Amino acid sequence: MELLVAVARLGSLGRAARELGISQPAASGRLRGLERQLGVALVRRSTGGSALTESGALVTEWARRVLEAAEDFDAGARALRGQRDSRLRVAASMTVAEYLLPGWLTALHGRHPGTAVSLAAGNSVVVARQVAAGQADLGFVEGLDVPATLDAAVIGHDRLLVVVAAGHPWAARRRPLPAAELAATPLLLREQGSGTRQVLDARLAAHGGPAVPLLELASTTAVKSAAVGGAGPAVLSELAVADELSARRLVEVPVAGLDLRRALRAVWPAGHRPAGPARDLLGLTREPAPRGQRKAARLRDSQAGAIG
């Protein structure tokens, strides 16, 4: 249609082709294809140029209106994309929000400096609820299950550790702690609905589940502070306690026969793949791990070597 309108304006198929950046044979082929589709001749070709037929003049007027509408549509779509790209709402579970997202969001700012990012931190159940309700464009969870209203992608893996202050009796153990003893011991734990609690409850289900918590706290930092202060054993992400383990403010207690690994997932409304800044943030999660995660992995490997 653009080609037809250009021919009507310029009076030459060759000049119309040059204006649109295509060859004259290609332009001629496109016009013949349009004529075949409509079943009428649109252009009369001669050595002196190209002229519209009566049908061609009528179709050209229709084409102008279609092209104007397409331009309006494109302008509106660009405005909508601009509105979408001007903000990004992220919801994340505590561990991801505190130890992984800061690095990802810093990198995202370099790509989208004009995008205003808001971050809501909560447990995995709350995050899933916010994303499903349209209150967040992208979420990050640590739990075992994802609601059917959300699509998800695994972006990494994490491991829960049993940790105690250096003065706790478990810190001097020479043998791994039996899983049954861990289950029977009151612990410093995150609240119900957190990814950490979901994983621990599932892994200890064969041993009757964890005992009534010594303290149940709503943030990773609070659980960690209580453990460092000697309140009791805690179960926390290796990402959260890397610095404390390195400084010996906390000591890892190996547990026999208990797999406390878990997947970290990005979630978004089902059927709506992330776009714009949300898509780029999702891509950043697949890039090399931030320094804190690499440090935790190195520390874990060195401790495994020492135990072996």
Q: Which domains does the chain have, with CATH numbers?
A: 2-84 (1.10.10.10), 91-307 (3.40.190.290)
Alpha carbons 31 and 43: distance in angstroms, whole number: 8
Structure tokens at 82: 């601009």
With residue 236 as reference, give the H or E element that holds it. Answer: strand 234-237
Q: What angle do CA 192, 165, 296 make, to 5 degrees?
A: 75
Of 108, 104, 107, whose CA–CA distance to 140 is shortest? 104
Q: Give the orientation angle of helix 277-284 with respect to helix 101-111, to 10 degrees.
A: 130
What is the structure's pLDDT at 84?
54
DSSP the chain: -HHHHHHHHHS-HHHHHHHHT--HHHHHHHHHHHHHHHTS--EEEETTEEEE-HHHHHHHHHHHHHHHHHHHHHHHHHHHHHHHHTEEEEEEEHHHHHHTHHHHHHHHHHH-TT-EEEEEEE-HHHHHHHHHTTS-SEEEE-SS---TTEEEEEEEEEEEEEEEETTSGGGG-SSPEEHHHHHHS--EEEPTTSHHHHHHHHHTGGGT-PPSPSEEESSHHHHHHHHHTTS--EEEEHHHHHHHHHTTSEEE--EET---EEEEEEEEETT----THHHHHHHHTTSSPPHHHHHHHHHHHHHHHHH-
Q: What is the DSSP letter of 167?
A: T
Would you say the pTM of this structure is higher than 0.75?
Answer: no
Could you tell me the sign of the dihedral formed by the alpha carbons of 261, 301, 155, 117, in that order? positive
Name the amino acid, one letter, at 257: G
Contact (Cβ atoms closer than 8 angstroms) between residue 124 and residue 198 = yes
* pLDDT given at position 230: 96
Distance CA 139, CA 266 (A): 6
pLDDT block averages, 10 residues each, the chain of length 308 = 90 89 91 91 81 90 90 73 73 93 93 89 94 94 91 94 96 94 96 93 94 94 96 96 96 95 95 90 76 44 40
End-to-end CA, the chain = 74
> So what's the pLDDT on residue 168?
96
Which pLDDT value is given to residue 80? 62
Please tell me what DSSP assigns to residue 139: E
Question: Which pLDDT score, from 0 to 100, does residue 75 have?
Answer: 72
Q: Which two tokens stand for residue 129?
A: 């609820």
CA-CA distance, 188 to 170, in Å (whole number)?
Answer: 14
Contact 151, 267 (CB under 8 A): yes
